[in-house]
Amino acid sequence: MSEHLYDNPVISGFHPDPSVCRVGDDYYLVCSSFEYVPGLPLFHSRDLVHWEQIGNVLDRPGQLPLPLPGAKASGGLYAPTIRHHDGRFWVVNTNVDGGGNFVVWAERPEGPWSDPVWLALDGIDPDLAWEEDGTCWCAFSGPAGGINIARIDPAGGKVLEGPVPTWSGSGLKYPEAPHLYRVGGWWYLLIAEGGTERGHAVSVARARSPRGPWEAAPGNPLLSHAGTARPVQNTGHADLVEAPDGSWWMVLLGVRPRGFTPDVHVLGRETFLTPVEWDADGWPVVAPVPERHPAPGGAWHPVPVPPARDDFTGTALAPYWVSPFARPESCWSLTDRPGWLVLDATGPTLDSPGYTFVGRRQQHHDCRVTALLDPGTGRGGLCVRLDEAHHYELEAGDGEVRVVARIGPLRQTVARRPVPAGPLSLTVTVRTSDLVPASPHLTDGGTTGPDTLAFWLGDPGAPDARPLAELDGRYLSTEVACGFTGRVIGMYATEGSVAFDWFEYVPSSAV
User: What is the rounded distance in angstroms from the CA atom of residue 91 to the CA atom of residue 104?
Assistant: 5
**Helix (H) and strand (E) counts in the chain:** 1, 38
Residue 438: predicted pLDDT: 63
Q: What is the CA radius of gyration of the chain?
A: 23
Q: Check 17, 97, 239, 395 and give the catalytic one.
A: 17
Q: Which fold has domain 309-507?
A: Jelly Rolls (2.60.120)
Contact 132, 152 (CB under 8 A): no
Instruction: Provide DSSP, 230-289.
Output: -SSEEEEEEEEEE-TTS-EEEEEEEE--BSSTT-B-SS-SEEEEEEEEE-TTS-EEEPPP
The CATH 2.60.120.200 portion of the chain extends over 309-507
Report CA-CA distances (Å) from 163 to 21, 122, 219, 242. Answer: 25, 9, 28, 29
17 is annotated as an active-site residue: yes
φ/ψ of 351, rounded to 5, equals -85, -5
Spans of the chain below 50 pLDDT: 1, 443, 510-511
Q: What is the CATH number of domain 19-241?
A: 2.115.10.20
Strands of the sheet containing 270-278, edge to edge, are 233-242, 248-255, 270-278, 284-286
Report CA-CA distances (Å) from 121 to 156, 159, 161, 360, 439. Answer: 14, 8, 11, 33, 49
Reference 14, options 322, 311, 239, 275; nearest CA is: 322
Q: What is the pTM of this model?
A: 0.96
The CATH 2.115.10.20 portion of the chain extends over 19-241
Residue 1: predicted pLDDT: 43
Contact 471, 452 (CB under 8 A): yes
Evaluate the CA torsion angle 153, 175, 77, 47 in order and state its sign: negative
Tell me how many degrees the CA angle 189-190-193 measures, rounded to the nearest 5: 125
Contact 21, 285 (CB under 8 A): no
Q: Check 35, 97, 125, 176 and give the catalytic one.
A: 176
* End-to-end Cα, the chain, rounded Å: 36
